[in-house]
């Protein structure tokens, strides 16, 4: 479970939404709010409330409350998801380093196996930036900035 799921917000949630979710969960899960007395005088936590849950919420807030740490965390999440989906990316290559073929509208880059990585403009528009070589199993990640429509 990632920090966004812990707080119950989407990855594109505003800072205000993240803070609101944190406050709600922290109040609900705070150890001081979730204690009850047993017959022998000992203290027991509510059945679904644990100190671990509160600590997870606290950790999520620590990371997501600052824009710099949130950006680093988001990059780590994307990297982990890329590895899970595609395997290990062998190289990061800037889009400007790829050859653009005006006739086909594709970007290409040679692979060390002799094959070719091919990237279409449609792939880039969809945000697909991990590409497998046509001749082997090696992967590259194409680095580029998406420009928002004006």
| 55 and 23 Cβ atoms separated by less than 8 Å | no
**Dihedral of alpha carbons 47, 53, 58, 64, sign:** negative
Q: How confident is the model at residue 19, as a pLDDT?
A: 96
Strand, coil or helix: 10: coil
At 86, the pLDDT band (50, 70, 90 cuts) reads confident
Q: Provide CATH 3.10.660.10 ranges for the chain.
A: 91-143
Most confident of 26-30, 51-55, 78-82, 104-108: 104-108
Mean pLDDT of the chain: 84
Query: What would the mean pLDDT of 92-97 be, rounded to a whole number?
Result: 93
CA within 13 Å, CB half, 118? 10
Which residue do the tokens 């936590």 mark?
Answer: 45
- Distance separating alpha carbons of residues 150 and 144, to the nearest angstrom: 18
Given the candidates 3.30.70.870, 3.10.660.10, 3.90.1010.10, 1.10.260.40, the CATH classification of the domain at 91-143 is 3.10.660.10
| Whether this model's pTM surpasses 0.85 | no
Whether pLDDT at 125 is above 90 = no
Whether pLDDT at 146 is above 70 = no
Whether pLDDT at 118 is above 90 = yes
pLDDT tens column, 13-58? 999 999 999 999 999 888 887 665 444 545 555 544 568 899 999 9
Query: What would the mean pLDDT of 103-131 be, rounded to a whole number?
Result: 90
Q: Which CATH class is domain 3-84?
A: mainly alpha
| 118 and 134 Cβ atoms separated by less than 8 Å | yes
pLDDT tens column, 56-77? 999 999 999 999 999 889 888 8
Q: Provide CATH 1.10.287.110 ranges for the chain.
A: 3-84
What residues are paired with 43 via a beta bridge?
Answer: 37
């Amino acid at each position: 479970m990632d920090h966004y799921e812990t707080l119950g917000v989407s990855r594109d949630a505003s800072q205000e939404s993240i803070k609101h979710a944190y406050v709600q969960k922290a109040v609900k899960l705070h150890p001081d709010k979730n204690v009850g007395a047993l017959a022998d005088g000992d203290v027991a936590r509510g059945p679904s409330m644990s100190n671990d849950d509160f600590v997870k919420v606290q950790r999520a807030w620590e990371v997501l409350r600052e824009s710099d740490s949130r950006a680093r965390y988001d990059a780590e999440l994307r990297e982990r998801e890329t590895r899970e989906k595609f395997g290990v990316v062998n190289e990061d290559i800037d889009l400007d380093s790829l050859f653009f073929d005006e006739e086909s509208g594709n970007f290409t880059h040679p692979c060390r196996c002799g094959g070719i990585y091919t990237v279409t403009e449609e792939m880039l528009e969809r945000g697909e930036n991990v590409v497998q070589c046509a001749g082997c199993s090696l992967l590259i990640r194409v680095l580029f900035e998406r420009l928002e429509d004006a």
